[in-house]
Amino acid sequence: MLASMNLLRPIGALVLALGLVAGCQRGSSRRPASQPSYGQAYPPYGAPQQGAPPQQPGYPQQPGYPQQPGYPPAQTGPVPAPTFNVPTMPGLPVLGDPINDINVSWLQSEAGVVMGALIGALPAASQQKVRGIPFIADPTVGEVNAFAGCDDQRMPFMAITDGLLEVEAQIAQFKATDEIFGTRKLDEFLRMLAQRQRPGQPIVRPPAGFIDPVQHTDPRKVERQRQLYHEQLAFVLGHELGHHHLGHTGCANGQGGSRGVTPADLGRMLSRTLPIFNQPNEIAADVAGVNNLLAAGARQQGYRWTEGGAMLTLGFFASLDQLTPATILFAFEQTHPHPLLRQPVVQQTANTWRMTGGAPVFTFPGFGG
C-alpha cells in the first residue's frame, strides 16, 4: 500500500485526452425519462436523495440498451450507514486550509493518497493488475471528469481533471458548513453554477464572504470537509479503477503503465470516435468502486469512508442537471450514466456490503467481475 501511495502522490499537471477508454465514454442518453423536482436539501448519509427513484435491482432499461441482469438483489430492509456526529465544542480557527483556499496542488496530492488507499484494499489479483498505473492530472480549463484509459501502446493510465477536484472540494466545504451550522450553502452554490457556469470556462467560484468568516475557519467544519473530500474521491476513483481491474479497458494486466500522454497527442486522441458508454460495465464499475471504497474505509483509523460521498456527488450532479436542462456544462454528464440511475445501485451495494461483512457475493458473468 505504501509503495502505491508513494508512486501515485506526484500526480502531474499534464494535458491529456481520453484515448482508448472502456466504460466512461460519451452517451447518447443524458437523462432518464422523468426528473424529480429539485430538492430543498440533501438527506443524511445512508438515505436516498430527495426525489430519487425507489431502490431497484439495477439501472432501468434505456433506449438502445438491452435489459441487463440486476444487481444487487432486493434487500429486505435498508442497512444504515454510519452517521457523522457533529462535535459540540468549536476550537481555534484553522487558517490557510487547502480546501478553503482551493489549493489545486494539495487537491491533486490528496487524490493520489486516496488512490493508494484504494489499491491497497483490493484483492491481491486485482492489485497486481493496477499496481504501477500512472495517475495524471488534466488541467484543461472547465473540464470536469475522470477516466481510465489506454495510450497508443496499449498501456494503462488513469486521469482526473483539476476541474473535478475543485468541484468536489467545493461540494465538501459547503456540505460541511451546512451540516455543522444548519446553512444552505450547497444549494446556493448549485444555483450559482446553474446560472453562471459556461462550458469550457473556469469553474465559477463564490465571492468572498460566501461563508461566514468564523464558520469558514471553524475546525469542526475543516475536519468534516476533508472527510467528505476524500470520501467523494474514493467513489470517483474507485469506479475508474474498477474499469481497469475488471478488464473493461483490456490494457491493465500488471505490466505497469503508460509512459505519458503528451500535449502533442491531444488533438489526435480527441479526434478518435468514442463509442457510447457500456451500461453493464458502468454497473460493474459502480459496484466495484463502492466495495473498494468501503473496504479501504474499514482499514482507516478514525473516520471511515461510507457510500455517503458517492451519494453526495451523484446528488449534486443530478440536481445540477435538472437546473440546466438545455445545457451540458461538464463532460461528466456525457461520459457516465445519469446519476439518478446510479444512486440505487450505490446504495444497495453498500447495504449488501454491510450485511455480508464485506464478502464479495456478486459476480458479473461476461463483464470481468
pLDDT in tens, 115-129: 999 999 999 999 999
Average pLDDT, the chain: 76
pLDDT in tens, 137-173: 888 899 898 888 888 888 888 889 999 999 999 999 9
Q: What Å distances lie between residue 351 and 82, 135, 297, 304, 355, CA to CA?
A: 11, 30, 15, 15, 6
The whole-number pLDDT of residue 136 equals 86
Q: How far apart are CA 204 and CA 174, in angstroms?
A: 14
Which residue in 327, 269, 312, 316 sits closest to 153, CA to CA? 269
Please provide the DSSP assignment of 95-139 as one string: -S-TTTTT-HHHHHHHHHHHHHHHHHTS-HHHHHHHTT--EEEE-
Q: Specify whether the CB–CB gap between 34 and 150 falls below 8 A.
A: no
| Cell numbers that stand for 222 in this block | 475543516
- Residues 343-364, mean pLDDT to the nearest whole number: 84
Per-residue three-class SS string for 69-95: CCCCCCCCCCCCCCCCCCCCCCCCCCC
CB neighbours (10 Å) of residue 320?
A: 22
Q: How far apart are CA 122 and CA 87, in angstroms?
A: 33
The whole-number pLDDT of residue 150 equals 85
Q: How far apart are CA 109 and CA 324, in angstroms?
A: 32
Range picked from 42-51, 103-112, 332-341 for highest mean pLDDT: 103-112
CA-based angle 195:167:48, to the nearest 5?
90
Which residue in 160, 59, 51 sits closest to 115, CA to CA? 160
pLDDT in tens, 179-233: 999 999 999 999 999 999 998 899 999 999 999 999 999 999 999 999 999 999 9
